[in-house]
């Protein structure tokens, strides 16, 4: 590698490191409760009664919390990329979009208003399109889906376009919601929207308020891949493994959760202080979409054969947990602070264990040369570090104590129990059982059992330190912070409770959760671990019974497997309606309108012009112009014959012509002057 390439790689990682340093510098203010500052500069002056458009930053516990998660995870992913992407011919393009991705996400979380936030929001979407479709030449080795005998393969360019179209459609809804809000509130500023929430939201009818809330939530639902806009995320696995880790752990999918967290105090204030009942729609939609999505995606992860796709379903599911916590938080005035903290706590723990899992999966796929878990197996002997760290990430994902995922997941179940949301509690509990089931499954299929169809099997070895150190740090943190779980939970509460109370006027209920609720949530969580983990251990570790035989011998299980494998047929319906259906409509329009009307009209216009041109040719060209042309020529010849006789060559005649000409000119001048 030449010096120029080394300098490029070094600078790309350095920029992410500098971003991390800047974000870390804000933590002292966060811990000393001095983290609340807004810097504003006027950007565009608007006519009265609207306030000018402003740009600025909002430094508060939420933005500092998010910025540090983004910067820390992103930096480790960039370091990992040095090894994973080494020698890639498109590395300059890769570094550009990765740094642009990180910068856009930081702009998004630090903005103090909707318009400025949208620049970061759309920047994240643009980068995701470019990085998901990074292998845009669509070499066969980078296609995902399949195996071909079970489902079609999809090229990376298609995957990038699918992500772009679905998130752009969601962003259109978000933009509509923002402008409905602006028309009634007259501002895009988050703090001003909070202070005047009862006024502008109370001035809307329930129908308009519901429409605005749905439109506003389209953006977070699309970006965070929640039902019904979740189908783009499994295909996002077409990008390189570091891209998958960045999208799933630090940037894009977290953007939607962040926006819901940013808007939650606004609607809580309108609902429980301003008495605007329509604000309840916001929390109901968020809670139920989150709860249902968590269950939906977890069920699909249980049958996936692609390693990264199983983790993608897991991301959708865990984001659903976060959304559910933020939604449940607003359903009662007393539970807001604890639900808010539960959602953000799980966001942090998910960022750690999911980024480590994706980076580990990248090392495994890099070594084996296949994306399918059923073609792996027996890797724990060849990749001991990767096995250990991926196991730690899976245990945290499953909510096994003392890993960090246990504390954040249990806190969400406690909030559902505390607020009496038993249906959501049931969804969350079943999802917990499914989570440990598919976690044991992907660990067993990848690392346990006998070696299977490894490509280049003789060359399988542990990833280099430049790759395993980043995901080793992340995996270790899931255990270290998990051991300090109660202290970490207390610290987060001590940061966010005063902030919510002081700056948003949120009523803080008793910090002490009833022991009965804690014990019930713990018992429920442990029972779900046994319910999901026991069968997974027997089927995939002990292989009793053999998984394939189990499905084949039981028709009911085979039907369920087929239903889940086909993604609840949601993806098929979307393609049938929005892709194939659109093409059928276009074909029908072509047949009915183009062929039977427009083509006929064009032919009639063409024939009419041909007839007119023919008529002009006959009556004008032939009968008139063709007759005039000879006469004009003969007249010109006759005039020439007569005029040439005047040119005799005699000097006296020439002088006479000159005198006559001068006399005529003089008369003209005199006449014109007199006029």
Q: Which of 524, 526, 505, 508 is nearest to 516 (CA)?
A: 524
What is the helix (H) or strand (E) element at residue 271, kind and residue range? helix 252-272
458, 330 contact by CB (below 8 A): no
- What are 451-506's pLDDT values in tens digits? 765 554 547 889 999 999 999 999 999 999 999 988 998 889 888 988 888 888 77
Range of the domain at 579: 572-650
Which tokens go with 299? 């069920």
Task: Give the whole-angstrom CA distance, residue 86 versus residue 240.
Answer: 12
347, 67 contact by CB (below 8 A): no
Q: Is residue 494 part of a domain?
A: yes
Task: Give the whole-angstrom CA distance, residue 487 versus residue 554.
Answer: 48
Q: Is residue 637 part of a domain?
A: yes
The DSSP output letter for 513 is -
201, 209 contact by CB (below 8 A): yes
Q: Is residue 208 part of a domain?
A: yes
Q: Is residue 46 part of a domain?
A: no
Pairing of the two strands 153-154 and 53-59: unpaired
- What are 381-434's pLDDT values in tens digits? 889 999 999 999 999 999 999 999 999 999 999 999 988 899 999 999 999 999
Number of domains in the chain: 2
Task: Give the whole-angstrom CA distance, residue 297 versus residue 354.
Answer: 15
Residues 522 and 637 in one domain: no
pLDDT at res. 151: 83
- Does position 607 have pLDDT exceeding 50, yes or no? yes
Residues 277 and 173 in one domain: yes
- Does position 318 have pLDDT exceeding 70, yes or no? yes
Q: Which of 321, 217, 336 is nearest to 270 (CA)?
A: 336
266, 194 contact by CB (below 8 A): yes
The model's confidence at residue 510, banded by pLDDT at 50, 70 and 90, is low
Residues 614 and 510 in one domain: no
**Residues 618-646, mean pLDDT to the nearest whole number:** 77
Residues 337 and 401 in one domain: yes
Residues 523 and 644 in one domain: no
CB atoms within 10 A of CB 245: 34
Q: Is residue 134 part of a domain?
A: no
Q: Please list the residues that pair with 44 across neighbouring strands.
A: 53
pLDDT at res. 1: 65
Residues 523 and 597 in one domain: no
Residues 515 and 543 in one domain: yes
Listing DSSP states for 29-47 in one string gives HHHTT---EEEEEEEE---
Residues 429 and 486 in one domain: yes
321, 409 contact by CB (below 8 A): yes
Q: Where are the alpha helices (DSSP H) in 448-543?
A: 465-483, 485-504, 515-536
pLDDT at res. 509: 63
| Three-class DSSP category at 110 | helix
Residues 379 and 396 in one domain: yes
- What are 36-61's pLDDT values in tens digits? 888 888 888 877 777 777 789 999 99
| Number of helical H runs and strand E runs in the chain | 27, 4
Listing DSSP states for 341-376 in one string gives HHHHHHHHHHHHHHHHHHHHHHHHHHHHS-SBGGG-
Residues 504 and 533 in one domain: yes
Q: Which of 521, 483, 340, 474 is nearest to 404 (CA)?
A: 483
Which tokens go with 77? 């992913």
The model's confidence at residue 101, banded by pLDDT at 50, 70 and 90, is very high
Q: Please list the residues that pair with 187 across neighbouring strands.
A: none
CB atoms within 10 A of CB 559: 11
355, 459 contact by CB (below 8 A): no
Task: Give the whole-angstrom CA distance, residue 460 versus residue 382.
Answer: 7
> Could you tell me what percent of the chain has a pLDDT over 70?
97
N- to C-terminal Cα distance for the chain?
90
Write out 283-316 in H/E/C secondary structure.
Answer: HHHHHHHHHHHHHHHHHHHCCCCEHHHHHHHHHH
Residues 380 and 460 in one domain: yes
Which tokens go with 220? 């977070």
568, 300 contact by CB (below 8 A): yes
Q: Which of 62, 344, 70 is nearest to 194 (CA)?
A: 62
Q: Is residue 640 part of a domain?
A: yes
pLDDT at res. 673: 66
Q: Is residue 21 part of a domain?
A: no
Q: Is residue 113 part of a domain?
A: no
Q: Please list the residues that pair with 154 across neighbouring strands.
A: 144
């Amino acid at each position: 590698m030449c010096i120029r390439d080394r300098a490029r790689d070094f600078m790309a990682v350095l920029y992410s490191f500098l971003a991390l340093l800047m974000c870390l510098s804000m933590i002292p203010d966060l811990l000393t409760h001095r983290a609340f500052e807004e810097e504003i500069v006027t950007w565009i002056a608007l006519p009265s009664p609207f306030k000018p458009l402003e740009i600025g930053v909002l430094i508060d516990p939420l933005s500092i919390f998010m910025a540090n998660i983004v910067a820390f995870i992103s930096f480790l992913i960039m370091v990992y990329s040095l090894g994973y992407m080494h020698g890639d011919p498109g590395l300059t393009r890769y570094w550009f979009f990765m740094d642009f991705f990180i910068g856009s996400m930081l702009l998004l979380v630090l903005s103090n208003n909707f318009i400025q936030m949208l620049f970061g929001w759309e920047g994240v979407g643009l980068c995701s399109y470019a990085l998901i479709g990074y292998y845009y030449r669509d070499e066969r080795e980078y296609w995902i889906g399949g195996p071909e005998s079970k489902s079609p393969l999809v090229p990376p360019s298609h995957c990038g376009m699918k992500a772009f179209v679905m998130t752009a459609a969601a962003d259109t809804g978000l933009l509509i919601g923002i402008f409905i809000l602006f028309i009634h509130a007259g501002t895009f500023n988050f703090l001003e929207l909070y202070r005047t929430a009862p006024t502008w939201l109370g001035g809307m009818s329930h129908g308009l308020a519901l429409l605005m809330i749905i439109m506003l939530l389209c953006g977070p639902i699309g970006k965070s891949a929640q039902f019904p806009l979740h189908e783009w995320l499994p295909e996002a696995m077409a990008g390189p493994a570091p891209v998958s880790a960045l999208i799933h752990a630090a940037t894009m999918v977290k953007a939607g959760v962040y926006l819901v967290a940013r808007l939650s105090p606004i609607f809580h204030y309108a609902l429980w202080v301003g008495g605007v009942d329509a604000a309840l729609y916001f929390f109901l939609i968020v809670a139920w979409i989150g709860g249902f999505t968590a269950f939906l995606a977890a069920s699909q992860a249980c049958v996936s054969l692609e390693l990264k796709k199983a983790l993608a379903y897991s991301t959708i599911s865990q984001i659903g947990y976060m959304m559910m916590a933020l939604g449940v938080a607003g359903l009662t005035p007393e539970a807001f602070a604890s639900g808010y903290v539960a959602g953000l706590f799980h966001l942090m723990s998910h960022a750690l264990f999911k980024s480590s899992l994706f980076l580990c999966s990248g090392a495994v796929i890099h070594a084996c040369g296949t994306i399918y878990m059923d073609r792996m197996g027996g890797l724990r002997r060849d990749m001991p570090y990767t096995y250990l760290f991926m196991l730690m990430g899976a245990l945290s994902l499953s909510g096994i104590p003392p890993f960090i995922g246990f504390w954040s997941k249990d806190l969400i179940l406690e909030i559902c129990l505390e607020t009496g949301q038993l249906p959501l509690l049931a969804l969350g509990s079943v999802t917990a059982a499914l989570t440990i089931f598919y976690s044991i499954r992907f660990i067993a299929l990848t690392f346990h059992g006998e070696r299977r169809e490894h490509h280049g099997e003789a060359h399988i070895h542990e990833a280099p330190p430049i790759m395993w150190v980043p995901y080793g740090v992340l995996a270790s943190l899931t255990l270290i912070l998990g051991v300090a779980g109660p202290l970490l939970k207390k610290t987060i509460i001590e940061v966010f409770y005063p902030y919510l109370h002081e700056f948003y006027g949120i009523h803080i209920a008793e910090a002490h959760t009833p022991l009965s609720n804690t014990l019930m949530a713990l018992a429920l969580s442990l029972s779900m671990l046994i319910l999901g983990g026991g069968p997974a251990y027997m089927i995939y570790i002990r292989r009793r019974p053999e998984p394939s035989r189990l499905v084949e011998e039981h028709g009911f299980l085979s039907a369920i497997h087929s239903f889940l494998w086909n993604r609840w047929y949601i993806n098929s319906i979307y393609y049938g309606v929005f892709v194939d259906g659109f093409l059928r409509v276009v074909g029908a329009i072509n047949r009915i309108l183009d062929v039977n009307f427009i083509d006929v009209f064009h032919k009639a216009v063409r024939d009419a012009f041909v007839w007119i041109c023919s008529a002009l040719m006959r009556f004008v060209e032939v009968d008139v112009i063709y007759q005039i042309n000879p006469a004009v020529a003969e007249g010109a010849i006759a005039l020439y014959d007569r005029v040439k006789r005047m040119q005799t060559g005699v000097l006296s005649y020439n002088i006479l012509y000159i005198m006559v000409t001068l006399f005529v000119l003089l008369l003209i001048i005199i006449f014109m002057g007199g006029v």
